[in-house]
Amino acid sequence: MIIGAVAIIFLVVVIVWVSISTVGGNSVAKQLDQAITSGKLFQPPVENAHDLYNQLKASNANEDTLRKYRERLIPLLTAMPNQLLVNLPTIGSDEPTVDQWQEAARNLNWAAELQSDDKKLPAKAAYCEGRSEYLQNNRSDAALQSWNRAASLDKSWALPVNGLGLIYQSRKDYSTSRSYFLRAISLDQNWAHPYENLGNNYLYERDYSTARNYYQQAVQKPQTGPKPHWHLWSNRHAT
């Protein structure tokens, strides 16, 4: 009788535990659906997609369920950062704020965690971190480290390489900055920015003829913007 009673109590406990777990799991999934639909990726506290996804994952949700949520989350996480990175290389484009770059880095870091086979995502996250640090201090070692990491993670990407050149240029290390700008040109020969930056390098070194040559090459590239034209005009008489 005692053994039978213990068995019944144990069975009841198991049933209750399974019921609570099932209800809790459904509740988390429902809250996660709502957070994703409303775009609450990291805020408010607890009731955001990041925390709820991790909570659902910790509850041993199956991989098919988690994959469906990842497929919904990754486009939301990458849309804004990708737009910032597309617009930035255009000379004369508006510079996003430090807060925007920090938000972009946060989104991309989580996207990289969710989609670990995409090796470009951590490179983009590192670039955004570096951009935020660069805007706060254009000579900072933190920006240098972030952009070095981005360039190492995606060796075909000219944007972080050009950024490294800008840091050394701000430090007046023109020889080192020149090597990075030339490397950026080798990675993307149609991008005007590194040509203009090389022109600035030579302008600072008072080599006006070489500076004009690079400004001239910059204006011949697509989506140049007005800055290289202004440099050519303002230095037309310099010798």
* pLDDT tens, residue by residue, 130-162: 999 999 999 999 999 999 999 999 999 999 999
In the block, tokens 């011949």 appear at 220
pLDDT at 11: 45
Q: What average pLDDT score do residues 91-96 get?
A: 77
Q: What average pLDDT score do residues 22-51 get?
A: 86
Cα dihedral 221, 166, 155, 127 sign: negative
Give the rounded distance of the alpha carbon of 13 from its chain centre. Answer: 48
Tokens read off for 62: 């199956």
Contact criterion met (CB below 8 Å) for 42 and 106: yes
Measured CA angle at 166 (ends 175, 158), to 5 deg: 100
pLDDT at 3: 52
**What is the distance between the alpha carbons of residues 30 and 101, in angstroms, rounded to a whole number?**
31
Longest Cα–Cα distance of the chain, Å, equals 107
pLDDT at 186 over 50: yes
pLDDT at 21: 40
Nearest one of 97, 157, 147 to 125, comparing CA atoms: 147
**What is the distance between the alpha carbons of residues 91 and 103, in angstroms, rounded to a whole number?**
23
pLDDT at 229 over 80: no
**What is the distance between the alpha carbons of residues 85 and 232, in angstroms, rounded to a whole number?**
27
Provide the percentage of residues in the chain whose pLDDT is more than 70: 81
At residue 43 the predicted structure's pLDDT band, cuts being 50, 70 and 90, is very high
The residue among 90 and 156 whose pLDDT is bigger is 156
Residue 59 CB neighbour total at 10 angstroms: 12
Alpha helices in 38-115 (DSSP H): 49-58, 63-87, 98-114
Dihedral angle at the C-alpha atoms of 171, 176, 181, 184, nearest 10 degrees?
-120
pTM (predicted TM-score): 0.83
